[in-house]
Amino acid sequence: MSKRVILISLFFVSLSAVIFLSSAQFTSQIVMDKGSNFERSCGNDLCTITIYSYDKYFNRNGQWEEIDENWHRCGDNFCTNNYYFNTIADEEGLVTINSDNVQFSQRISGFANSNVVLLEPIIRGSTLTYLNVIPNVDLRYQYLPHKLKEELIIKEPLNNIEEDLQVSFDLNGELSLVLEEPFICDNNRNCKTLNYTLSRNKIDIIIPREFLASENLRYPIIIDPSFTIGNSSIVWNGRVEEYFDGDLFGYIRISNPTSLDVGKTANGSARADLDWNLEGIQNPDVINNATLRLFIENVISQNFINITNMEKNSSQWSNDLVGNQHFYTDMRNGTVYSNMVFTSNISNFSQDFIFTQQGLDYLGIAFNSTNRFSTGIDTLFSKEVTISARDNVNSSRRPQLVIVYDLSNSSINDAIIEGINNSLPNNPIVSDQQIYILNQNGQHSLGRFDKTTTLNNQTWSFNYVNYGESLVNMSSLFNILNVWQNSSLNYTEIVDQVQNFINNTLIQ
């Protein structure tokens, strides 16, 4: 925080040292830093944190570098760069994931009793596609920071479908991966989770005949049996659909699709949720404003989008009929953080949803408790809205959470003052002091502190290290000068630590 000055001097002859407490003008400058899934810039007493849907940066030998998700040729094969993992694909469809010298590989081995043909794949940025593994079916792999997204794309109707179809992949390796629940979606917003069997060496996925025989089916159809590696910045993003297909009424959950189709679906209506992981991002304490930035692929008017408070998150609502029903209800019945009304059909634009004070309060609670912040997405059940999700191939279209807060947060100073007064009631407190020490060996130390208080021949100086600041290179000098420095604490922790620091160093 900004530190201004009042000139004061104090001599401790008994220690053969001179300690000056003075001041100088502190000039604010723009300071930027990064974490795996965020950027932060601070200056002019304000900080802005942009939290990304996936890890955007990778720490290599102490330096943050931006993750490049693109595939490239590597000799006779096709590769990604190595971050949390890397992937190598060959011309014959063998795809190998490497992480810390441990491997996992897979290869498509069967599709509806047809002969699978694998030709040299095509690279488009972060995707690698084997065209026509059987007629009118492509196999696409997308590299993401914590996931190898896999999609089978059925481009045209398949012939002679008389029973359920089976897709098989051979598996090999020791790397521990998690298979997300496979699902199938057509281009008419009709989705269904898929039954599968998974063993050490094989996965078989069942595509129901009745889905492919639906009268409302629209191509292309996407089948997604993706594996994840570790955690991502959005813990979960997906939709829950309330559906009635003429025979059954129920609720199904689709986890981590490329786009979030909310509102009207082929057999009902859907709502969505984004679960943000705030772990590793320092608590901004008092938040000035926050914005959820979404890329809207399509919206049908007259319509609205509400961003709502979630009572629970995806891990707390069970993925079954009852749990998904409650999850679906939760996405609408909470406090509305932000609202946007659309009076005309519009597509392919970025929209900022600015949070109300209640939204800021809930975000602050998340930082101080679970480090998990959930945002429901609700719209009219009779209209269509499509929003780019975290797995979108265009990283600039993925959801972002932008938080602005006050760098010179007065509550930090209030906490330090409260702690001092709890130990030394009504003792004089001086703000923003510069302290200079010259000891008997001629060694110099210089530092600037938020709050300083003196009693008899003892001085206590307190410095809370905020964003864009560094620790003062000065330590306590016996019990005469007592230096306290800290960071990443909430209000109560600051009060308690300041009070205890004085009590433990006070000469009675």
Q: pLDDT digits over 254-264, tens only?
A: 999 999 999 99
CB 485 within 8 Å of CB 498: no
461 and 384 in a single domain? The answer is no
253 and 141 in a single domain? The answer is no
pLDDT at 195: 96
140 and 259 in a single domain? The answer is no
pLDDT at 11 over 60: no
User: What number is the average pLDDT over the span 100-119?
Assistant: 92
Summary mean pLDDT of the chain: 88
pLDDT at 232: 60
Question: Is 3 a member of any domain?
Answer: no
Task: Give the domain CATH number at 79.
Answer: 2.60.40
Structure tokens at 357: 């004070």
pLDDT at 216 over 90: no
439 and 400 in a single domain? The answer is no
Q: pLDDT digits over 229-245, tens only?
A: 876 666 899 999 999 87
Among 3-17, 263-277, 447-461, name the one with the lowest average pLDDT.
Answer: 3-17
81 and 220 in a single domain? The answer is yes
pLDDT at 23 over 50: no
357 and 384 in a single domain? The answer is yes
pLDDT bin (cut points 50, 70, 90) of residue 401 is very high
pLDDT at 22: 56
Q: What letter represents residue 342's amino acid?
A: F
Question: Is 192 a member of any domain?
Answer: yes
431-to-4, 149, 409 alpha-carbon distances in Å = 8, 54, 14
The CA dihedral of 179, 184, 188, 190, to the nearest 10 degrees, is: -90
pLDDT at 483 over 80: yes
DSSP secondary structure letters along 272-294: EEEEEE-TTSPP-SSEEEEEEEE
**Which of 232, 256, 290 corresponds to the end of one domain?**
232
445 and 455 in a single domain? The answer is yes
222 and 247 in a single domain? The answer is no
180 and 273 in a single domain? The answer is no
65 and 21 in a single domain? The answer is no
Question: Is 369 a member of any domain?
Answer: yes
Question: Is 40 a member of any domain?
Answer: no
pLDDT at 271: 98
Question: Is 494 a member of any domain?
Answer: yes
Q: pLDDT digits over 69-104, tens only?
A: 999 999 999 999 999 999 999 999 999 999 988 999
Report d(CA 332, CA 190) in Å as an integer: 21
| 255 vs 1 pLDDT, higher one | 255
pLDDT at 44 over 90: no
Residue with tokens 């007259």: 302
Name the domain count of the chain: 3
Question: Is 42 a member of any domain?
Answer: no
Give the pTM. Answer: 0.78
pLDDT at 6: 31
pLDDT at 26 over 70: no
Residue 488: give the domain boundaries. Answer: 8-29+408-505
User: What number is the average pLDDT over the span 386-399?
Assistant: 96
Question: Is 43 a member of any domain?
Answer: no
Question: Is 350 a member of any domain?
Answer: yes
